[in-house]
């Protein structure tokens, strides 16, 4: 019996990631982050969320976060 808490993924579909950044980013940064949704949290952080095609794309996205 599979554990109901374990996420299931479809290998043909991109995985949706959420990345939390310290500080608020403006909406004009959406293009820089490949169209990910930008949500400004009440605690002052920014949440980036959306599908990422593969591990290489995720690595590139994370590199942008540390620039």
Q: Which of 7, 47, 51 is nearest to 25 (CA)?
A: 47
- pLDDT interval class at 3 (50, 70, 90): low
pTM: 0.73
Quote the pLDDT of residue 23: 93
Q: How many C-beta neighbours within 10 Å does residue 60 have?
A: 11
Q: Residue 10 pLDDT more than 80? A: no
Tokens of residue 64, six digits: 């942008």
Average pLDDT over residues 6-13: 71
pLDDT in tens, 12-37: 788 899 999 999 987 677 788 877 88
Instruction: Say yes or no to pLDDT of 1 above 60.
Output: no
Structure token digits, residue 3: 């554990």
Using CA atoms, how far apart are residues 12 and 26, in angstroms rounded to an integer?
A: 32
């Amino acid at each position: 019996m599979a554990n109901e808490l374990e996420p299931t993924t479809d290998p043909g579909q991109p995985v949706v990631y959420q990345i939390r950044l310290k500080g608020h980013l403006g909406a004009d940064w959406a293009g820089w982050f490949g169209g990910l949704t930008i949500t400004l949290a009440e605690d002052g952080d920014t949440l980036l969320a959306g599908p990422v095609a593969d591990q290489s794309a995720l690595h590139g996205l994370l590199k942008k976060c540390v620039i």
